[in-house]
Chains A and B, each alone.
Chain A
Amino acid sequence: MESAGLSGLILKRLASGLVTLFIVSLMVFAGTEILPGDVAHAILGQQATPDSVQAIRDELGLDRPAILRYLEWLYNFVQGDLGVSLISGREITDLIDTRLRNSFFLASVAAVIAIPFAVGLGLVAALYEDRLADKSITIMTLVFVSLPDFLLGYLLLLVGAVTLGWFPALSRISSSMSFIEQLQAVALPCLTLVLVVSAHTMRLTRAAVLSVMNQAYIEMAELKGAGRRRIILRHALPNALSPVLNIVMLTLAYLIVGVVVVEAVFNYSGMGQLMIDAVSKRDMPLVQACGLIFASVYVLLNLSADILSILTNPRRRRPK
């Protein structure tokens, strides 16, 4: 273990991440198969005739054992073949293409704004602990954590689009728009996401930095007369880096879930809307594909958080 060193540790973490991905794919597949009856009946509901049930069973290959269907599905997925939508009959890869890009665009603009903003405010709150700045930030975050995503979305929609008329109420982007126009189109959903995510990130950053600042070595540095600047940059920052990086990754992971609701508020054509549509129409292949994409991104973010934390925190390299 000790001889394996850093790269060995990271390889080990990568391997366990792969195992998690495998388990997650198994659960996505099993999750859509756990109903007592039969998918074909569930899809057809009242209109189920023996013929139509058989047609769907044939189309989905339901007569073959589940384990075979799972392996085939996973194999095709890895090859980039996501199957065919049950409702529209189109290739799922075509359906997902622009929507995945739209969601990615929205989430990354939100991340670029939210992360410096939230981590910065969290730092301020921690460094001025128990003073006015900290107290007001803490109360604000407590309130924002409690607000449902759609409330923030509609409030911003009411103020930004209807009352002030600064932004479009429907967030549509297309490739013919310039980058600035696209940014303006996603301004409101983006702001909603920033507000939703920032509250969590701020609270976590504040707690992480405070726990470092309360360590004995910080007190020691103060006692030996090191300046405040030196204490923060040389003693606190290297130790706070790992938890804060972790929080950044958690924020990104939280964005993925936030996207689903925010897209619905603003009628933004992205992955979230696609998945909700698929779930309400019981388009199983599409639900599985969307679910696996969402879950994989989430797992990969958590995995990179862990690897970054191994890289930035030498304590984690010690075998336990």
Chain B
Amino acid sequence: MINLLRDLNLSARIGVVIVVVFLLAVTFGPMLLPYSAVEISGSVWEPPSATHWLGTDNVGRDLLARILTGGRMTVLVSFFATCGAFAIGCPLGIAAAITGGWFDLIVTRSVDALMAFPGLILALIVLSAIGTSIPSLLMMMAVLSSTIVFRLTRAVASDVAAMEYIEVARLRGETMRWFLFKEVLPNVAPTLFTEFGLRFVFAAILISSLSFLGLGIQPPYPDLGGMVKENALAITFGRSAPILPALALALLAIGVNLIVDGLLKRNANLDLHK
């Protein structure tokens, strides 16, 4: 891990700092603050002050407490949705690459059909039918995101399967377990790891956009996109209340993207050295 950090360029290190600080803040921040995310502790849309560092929201709740709690919700939902996408996409991708034939054809064509849609539009159509409970949101996001994971895993797995070292290991008579964990996984891990970052950002922005449109996470649960919607009117009074939660989301996305960009460059350099 330390070695990996040393390999990264400056902007990726900045990304690591942003993400770590963000995660620490949303994990421990709400416990350290004097206000909870639901308690009314001031008047409506107070400007930032010593008592409310970022001001208050549309009903007088502390904005900082809500951003931290909402940020936690956004991170958790995006993380689980992305895990779901990998849990669906990876096994299908590897299976399709190894078995080929009809199975491969059917799965690939279904994924093509799903990708013929713009993601947000498909999400809206499905949500109109299954409703906006958190489990249905998670399921919808996982399926949407799994299409890209499937394509990537399938491509990488068929590349790796054709490599000479796999042939060598096969001739040595290694077990399937060795194959997967010692030969295939270390070689696909960097690609999958960077993809996880990209999918995570996609999920965070998708769920926030849906919440912003009123079709994502529903009150009373706070989340970053929903907070932008709640405070939207403040903008006409020149207050920054809807901008702050959106900035928090942007910060998280920029942090992850910086890391991903650094990792991609590092991987590309490794390829050159060969």
Q: Looking at the complex, which one of B125, B228, B257 makes contact with A154 (CB distance below 8 Å)?
A: B228
A25-33, A111-119, A219-227, A231-239: which one contacts chain B?
A: A25-33
Interface of A is mostly: helix
Contact of A142 with B by CB under 8 A: yes
Tell me, yes or no, whether A150 is within 8 Å of chain B by CB.
Answer: yes
User: Does any Cβ of A come within 8 Å of B247's Cβ?
Assistant: yes
Is A173 located at the chain interface by the 8 A CB criterion?
no
| Complex Cα gap A279–B237 (Å) | 30
Measured between beta carbons, the chain B residues less than 8 angstroms from A210 are none
B104 to chain A, nearest CB (A): 18
B128 touches A32 (CB 8 A): yes
Say whether A257 contacts B238, CB under 8 Å.
Answer: no
A28 CA to B123 CA in the complex, in Å? 11
| Known A-B contacts A154-B235, A162-B238, A294-B121; A23 and B212 likewise in contact (beta carbons under 8 Å) | no
CB of B257 within 8 A of CB of A142, answer: yes
Contact with B along A257-275 (1 / 0, CB 8 A): 1001100110000000001
How many chain A residues sit at the interface, stated as a range, is 35 or more
Interface of B is mostly: helix
Would A148 and B249 be within 8 Å (CB), given that A280-B214, A282-B128 are in contact?
A: yes
Which residues 264-305 in A have Cβ within 8 Å of B in the complex?
264-265, 275-276, 278-280, 282, 284, 287-288, 291, 294-295, 298-299, 302
17 further A-B contacts with Cβ under 8 Å, apart from A39-B129, A264-B213, are A27-B117, A31-B122, A32-B128, A35-B129, A147-B253, A151-B246, A154-B235, A158-B243, A162-B237, A256-B118, A257-B120, A261-B120, A261-B213, A275-B121, A279-B127, A280-B215, A295-B118
Q: Does B270 contact A (CB under 8 A)?
A: no
- CB-nearest residue of chain A relative to B212? A150
A103 and B271 alpha carbons, distance in the complex (Å): 45
CB contact under 8 A between A148 and B208, given known A154-B242, A275-B124, A279-B215: yes
Chain A, 40-55, CB within 8 A of any chain B CB: 42
A34 and B258 CA atoms in complex are apart in Å by 39
The distance from the CB of A87 to the nearest CB of chain B, in whole angstroms, is 12
| Chain B residues within 8 Å of A183, by CB | none
Sorted nearest first, the 5 A-B pairs with minimum C-beta distance are A151-B246, A146-B253, A279-B128, A31-B125, A146-B254
* CA of A34 to CA of B140, assembled, Å: 12
**Interface, chain A (partner B; CB < 8 A):** 20, 23-24, 27-28, 31-35, 39, 42, 139, 142-143, 145-151, 154-155, 157-158, 162-163, 169, 253, 256-257, 260-261, 264-265, 275-276, 278-280, 282, 284, 287-288, 291, 294-295, 298-299, 302
CA of A279 to CA of B209, assembled, Å? 14
Identify which of B125, B209, B249 contacts A28 (C-beta below 8 A).
Answer: B125
Q: Which residues of B contact A256 (CB under 8 A)?
A: 118, 121
Q: Once the chains bind, are A257 and B235 in contact (CB under 8 Å)?
A: no
| Complex Cα gap A301–B118 (Å) | 12
Residues of chain A within 8 A (CB-CB) of B120 are: 257, 260-261
Instruction: Using A154-B246, A276-B213 as known contacts, say yes or no to A31 and B116 having CB atoms under 8 A apart.
Output: no
Give chain A residues whose Cβ lies under 8 Å from the Cβ of B16. Answer: none
Assess the A257–B201 pair: CB atoms within 8 A.
no
> Is B180 an interface residue when CB atoms closer than 8 A count as contact?
no
The chain A residue sitting closest to B121, CB to CB, is A294
Task: Contact check, B116 vs A299: say whether CB atoms are below 8 A apart.
Answer: yes
B261 at the interface (CB under 8 A from A): yes
Within the complex, the shortest CB–CB distance from B233 to chain A, in Å, comes to 11
Minimum CB–CB distance for A99 against chain B, Å? 15
B: number of interface residues (CB 8 Å):
46
Chain A contacts for B201, CB-based, 8 A:
146
26 example contacts (A-B, Cβ-Cβ < 8 A) are as follows: A27-B117, A28-B125, A31-B126, A33-B129, A42-B129, A139-B11, A142-B261, A146-B201, A146-B250, A146-B257, A148-B205, A148-B225, A151-B247, A154-B228, A158-B235, A162-B236, A169-B235, A261-B213, A275-B124, A279-B125, A279-B127, A284-B128, A288-B125, A291-B121, A294-B118, A298-B117
Residue from the list B114, B121, B129 in contact with A32, Cβ < 8 A? B129
Q: Do A158 and B240 contact each other (CB < 8 Å), given the known contacts A146-B254, A260-B120, A275-B124? A: yes
Cα A53 to Cα B67 in complex, Å, equals 41
Which single member of B117, B126, B237, B238 contacts A24 (CB below 8 Å)?
B117
Q: In the assembly, what is the distance between CA of A24 and CA of B118, in Å?
A: 11
Contact B129 A295 (CB under 8 A): no
Please pick, from A20, A143, A287, the residue contacting B124 in the complex, using a CB distance under 8 A.
Answer: A287
Interface contact B116-A261, CB-CB below 8 Å: no
Task: Please determine whether A154 and B254 come into contact, CB atoms closer than 8 angstroms.
Answer: no
Known A157-B235, A299-B116; judge A34-B215 contact (CB<8 A).
no
A182 to B113, CA, bound (A): 38
Are B246 and A148 closer than 8 Å at their CB atoms?
yes
The docked-state distance in angstroms from the alpha carbon of A147 to that of B249 is 8
Q: Which residues of A contact B125 (CB under 8 A)?
A: 28, 31-32, 279, 287-288, 291
A317 to B236, CA, bound (A): 55
Say yes or no: A169-B236 contact (C-beta < 8 A), given A24-B117, A260-B213, A295-B116: yes
A310, B266: Cα distance in complex, Å: 35
Collect the chain B residues with CB atoms within 8 Å of residue A291's CB.
121, 124-125
**Complex contact A158–B117 (CB within 8 A):** no
Q: Residues of A contacting B212 with CB < 8 Å?
A: 148, 150, 261, 264
Complex CA gap A163/B253 in Å reads: 27
